[in-house]
Amino acid sequence: MVKLNNCLVGFLLCLFSCNSVKKGMIYHEIAVIPGPKIESGVSRQLAEYRKTVIKDISYKLELDIPRLRKDKIEALEVISFQLNVNQYPLQLDFRENAAKIKSLRVNDKTAAVKYEAEHLIIDTEYLVSGKNKVELSFEAGEGALNRNEDYLYTLFVPDRARTVFPCFDQPDLKATYTLTLKLPASWKSIANASLRDSVVTGDRKAVYYNTSDTISTYLFAFAAGKFEKATGHLAKGEAEYLYRETDTAKIKQSIKEAFATHASSLKFLEEWTKIPYPFQKFGFVAIPDFQFGGMEHPGAIQYKASAMFLDAGATKDQLDARSNVIAHETAHMWFGDLVTMNWFTDVWMKEVFANFMADKSMEALTGKAVFDLKFLVDHFPAAYGIDRTQGSNPIRQDLDNLKDAGTLYGNIIYHKAPVMMRQLERLMGKDRFQQGVREYLLKFANGNASWPDLIGILDKYSDADLQKWNKVWVNDTGRPVIDYELEKKNNKISKFTVRQKPEYGDDRVWPQLFEVKFYYADHSKELSINLNTDKTDIKEAEGMDVPLFLQFNSSGQGYGLWPVDGKMLPGLYHIADPLNRASAYISLYENMLNGRSVTPGQLMDLFTAGLKKEEEELNIKLLTGYLANVYWEFITPKERKTGSAQLEELLWEAMKYQSLPNNKKLLFKAFQDVFLSENGRNRLYEVWARQKAPQGIKLTEDDYTSLAFSLALRSDKDTEILKKQLARITNADRRKRFEFIVPAISASEAIRDDFFKSLMQKSNREKESNVAAALYYLHHPLRQATSIKYLPESLRLLTEIQTTGDIFFPQNWLQATFSYYQSADAAQVIRDFLKQNPNYNPKLKIKILQAADNVFKAGVLLKK
Ligand SMILES: [Zn+2]
């Protein structure tokens, strides 16, 4: 973790001077640089050394991809680069078996293959100071090729290019790539660069791509296989879209929209940054069961197919999510792809800008009121979900070796960082913030930059103390707990004092701007507060009439655990502005978790009372989500059993009462989530069996699939239900997904045991998004009595999962496993594991503490 020393004098100065020392060393004192150690992964030391001696890299890569998944991929590669000083053996990254290297020639001479700790080592005798050429023939590694029966795709972020071909796998050694793919003639393919030529010979073809733009190894990508192709016009040229969807309704509803959303995102980014789309071509591909929502390879963006292809039954939430992921990946073309972090310590910068710009482009489309509400609902609960735990991490984290880079990703960088960025923009003013960011993009275009580089530029545009601000928001964990005192005299406010203290740890202050709203019988008044110390007297409030109640963080921009005025609760659903209500729901839930102001039972009653009254879709989503959390995690199984029939009835009534289709659907989904009664089962079974949704709701094939899973999970008396549902699915990729998940839902404990055992094999964990879905059912509260035995092994497997899986998999694995446990026994399993492994990888340990936090909190709250 980046815990900066207490030296307030200046982290900026310190880093800047370190940088200049490094620069000095490159050109004048090269002899004193120590040779890099040979160790597995890509160490920071190796990366820094290579950055000082290597430049002007280009890769020529040819891959011969056979039709059958089991057959090897033969590869040829030429790496050209400039070596400033030929002093130490050169390390090429290749995390594979040395036997896969067939031949190695360096500067036209055959060289011996020397392989150590995931590196191909080239001795100085073969190299020269100046231009060098390394030629290899080898069998490609398959660690990040995602090979399927009739398609494959690369996914190299953060350091997995080195699992496929030898390279300098670090983000600040950008290079060009000239790719040739040899493929079955009927396959289609997409890569970073535009197509130069394609030659068919019998049932094979060779596809020659132009030389790519200059990009980092983690952004080099291609996909090939049985895909359909659509084309459109984007970024001043023809753009291609590859997909495997077969459902004509989805295709009809989705392809035009995908191009249109990209077009509006590109337009917004070009205008905001004043930099035209910076790469030679635009293209994207929808991948079935893709590991992430999307990945920003220039010219070949990858998306999860199920999020891209929606039909007429899609909710507003799904449509928004699709627009959002497209805006996010498009923003990366500038933030991340054009200007890239030096090192993955600053991976959060590309993610925060992608999210922040996606939000901004949405604001331009929908207006401020929708934006404010969506920003609150999208980011704050997710950020609090990590930052309230003992395992929280700062936005900016240290990283010694790229092999651990995946552990840096999580809700802090995706959700707390945008909150921080919005506070920074508010502090600086929108125009000055935009000017600063533009200067940063222009200055570092096609290169690399760090957070100190950016904040150094922003500092010029700001009057505030950004260094002090940066320390607590970016380099530190946690959030403040806010409290207040209100003194009254003759029905007027005589004194209003606001205090903050950290939820955990030492004295710290989060400087921030937020709003407090005072509610009266016939009007309300909102004050903006700048809280930059631990205690502030709000002079503006003095002399105001005493309100009926007040609401902290009414506008939802402030970050922390906000106090709740008990007098607000009876009037909660009379608050007119949906933004204010959403902020109140979030504060109430956070306080409940902290054992402050409201108990789980009270919160259940309060939130169910809102199911008919709340009409804003995003707020209903928030309420039903919180209700489900409290229901499964913070009340006892006995309380659930006695209370479920009533809750089901309230949800069903509210569903009928609400008029908007999406609101109805959210309530239907909530009903499906919580039902336990016979009556509830019969209602849902009718819907599923007749494929007839309640009036006013559209259900899609995916909805009926999830309904079948929910019924089967409760050991439905229709034991054939899953077979019948499978028979309804025609798309081959979706059938595979279904068949994978089914054993995790089986009524037979032995089948579930076998399923869990099968996950010990890496090959059975390849479709990570399907594994996470299956684990959710396997560890569902209704199955926990028999699933608790999987917990120790699930923890033991985590290290292997981190090494073999993609970046989000460790946390998805943990979340899907632990999210719903509430028993003391489950908490003990986690405590025992941590106790027995005192030297456990700290980056994985915090992931465990994050995922297990509700299990520990349940222990406290259920005792009360
Ligand atoms: Zn991203």
pLDDT at 731 over 50: yes
- 549-552 vs 512-519, strand pairing mode: antiparallel
Which tens digit of pLDDT belongs to each residue from 493-539?
A: 999 999 999 999 888 999 999 999 999 999 999 999 999 999 999 99
CA of 340 to the centre of ligand 1 (A): 12
- Separation of 830 CA from ligand 1 center, angstroms? 31
In the reported structure, the alpha carbon of residue 420 is separated from the centroid of ligand 1 by a whole-number distance in angstroms of 17
Name the percent of the chain lying above pLDDT 90: 90
Strands 54-64 and 175-184: parallel
Q: What is the pLDDT of residue 13?
A: 27
CA of 380 to the centre of ligand 1 (A): 18
- Output the pLDDT for position 118: 98
pLDDT recorded at residue 33: 58
Pairing label, strands 109-110, 101-106: antiparallel
Q: Where are the beta strands (DSSP E) in 470-520?
A: 480-489, 492-502, 512-519
Residue 307 parent element (H or E): helix 305-308
Give the up-direction half-sphere exposure of residue 780: CA atoms within 13 A in the CB hemisphere.
22
* pLDDT tens by residue, 554-598: 999 999 999 999 999 999 999 999 999 999 999 999 999 999 999
Q: Angle CA(570)–CA(575)–CA(581) in degrees, nearest 5? A: 95
For ligand 1, the distance from its centroid to the CA atom of residue 163, given in whole angstroms, is 22
Report the separation in Å between the CA atom of 790 and the middle of ligand 1, taken as the mean of its atom positions.
32
Nearest to 515 by CA among 561, 580, 573: 580
Residue 430 near residue 401 (C-beta atoms within 8 A): no
Q: What is the pLDDT of residues 355-397, one digit of tens each?
A: 999 999 888 888 899 999 999 999 999 999 999 999 999 999 9
The answer to whether residues 212 and 220 touch, using CB atoms and an 8 Å cutoff, is: yes
Structure tokens at 263: 């077009």
DSSP E strand boundaries for 340-469? 340-341, 448-449
For every residue of 212-248, DSSP letters joined together read PPSB-GGG--EEEES-EEEEEEETTEEEEEEE----H
CA of 452 to the centre of ligand 1 (A): 20
The pLDDT of residue 482:
98
Nearest to 221 by CA among 283, 308, 138: 283
CA of 351 from ligand 1 middle (Å) equals 5
Ligand 1 geometric centre to CA of 354 (Å): 6
* Distance from the alpha carbon of residue 265 to the mean position of ligand 1, in angstroms: 15
**Mean predicted confidence (pLDDT) in 588-612:** 97
Distance (angstroms) between ligand 1 centre and the Cα of 806 equals: 14
* Residue 838 Cα to ligand 1 middle (Å): 33
With a pLDDT cut of 70, the percent of the chain lying above it is 96
How far, in Å, from the CA of 350 to the mean position of ligand 1?
7
Q: Mean of the per-residue pLDDT values for the chain? A: 93
pLDDT recorded at residue 35 = 84
Cα of 41 from ligand 1 centre, angstroms = 23
Q: Are the CB atoms for 420 and 503 separated by under 8 Å?
A: no
pLDDT the model gives residue 272: 97
How far, in Å, from the CA of 91 to the mean position of ligand 1? 29
Calculate how far, in angstroms, residue 292's C-alpha sits from the geometric centre of ligand 1: 9
Closest to 362 measured CA to CA, from 385, 343, 349, 379: 379
Q: Residue 864 — pLDDT band, cuts 50, 70, 90?
A: low
CA of residue 416 to ligand 1 center, whole Å: 14
**Ligand 1 centroid distance, CA of 409 (Å):** 10
Ligand 1 center to residue 257 CA distance, Å? 21
Query: Alpha-carbon distance 5 to 823, whole Å?
Result: 40
Q: Cα(406) to centroid of ligand 1, in Å? A: 13
Tell me how far the alpha carbon of residue 156 lies from the centroid of ligand 1, in angstroms: 14
For residue 280, the CA-to-ligand 1 centroid distance in Å is: 21
Ligand 1 centroid to residue 176 C-alpha, Å: 22
Among positive and negative, which fits the CA dihedral 10, 16, 19, 23? negative
Tell me, what's the pLDDT at 15?
A: 28
Tell whether the model's pLDDT for residue 793 goes beyond 90: yes
Q: Are 794 and 772 in contact (CB under 8 A)?
A: no
Q: Would you tell me how many other CB atoms lie within 10 Å of the CB of residue 20?
A: 10
Q: Which token pair is 380?
A: 């704050």
CA of 381 to the centre of ligand 1 (A): 19
What does the pLDDT average to over 809-824? 95
**680 Cβ partners below 8 Å, 6+ apart?**
644, 645, 648, 671
Ligand 1: centre distance to CA 328 (Å): 6
> For residue 357, how far is its CA from the centre of ligand 1 (angstroms)?
11
Query: Tokens standing for 554?
Result: 């009414």
- How many Å lie between the centroid of ligand 1 and the Cα of residue 322? 14
DSSP label at residue 561? B
More confident residue, 217 or 253: 217
Residue 296 Cα to ligand 1 middle (Å): 7
Mean pLDDT over 461-465 rounds to: 90
Measured between alpha carbons, how far is 820 from 784 in angstroms, rounded to an integer?
A: 9
Q: Measured in angstroms, how far is the CA atom of residue 713 from the centroid of ligand 1?
A: 34
Distance 681 CA to ligand 1 centre (A): 40
Q: What is the C-alpha separation between 233 and 539, in angstroms, rounded?
A: 57
Give the pair of three-digit tokens for residue 524: 């309300």
Least-confidence region, from 103-112, 315-324, 333-342, 808-817:
315-324
Can you name the residues that pair with 584 across neighbouring β-strands? none
Q: Once rounded to an integer, what is the mean pLDDT over residues 707-721?
A: 95
Q: Which two tokens stand for residue 697?
A: 């709701």
Taking the C-alpha atoms of residue 828 and residue 788, their distance in angstroms, rounded to an integer, is: 11
Alpha helices in 594-636 (DSSP H): 600-609, 617-629
- pLDDT (tens digit per residue) in 8-25: 222 222 222 333 333 333
Global confidence as pTM = 0.90
Using the mean position of ligand 1's atoms as its centre, give its distance from the Cα of residue 85 in Å. Answer: 36
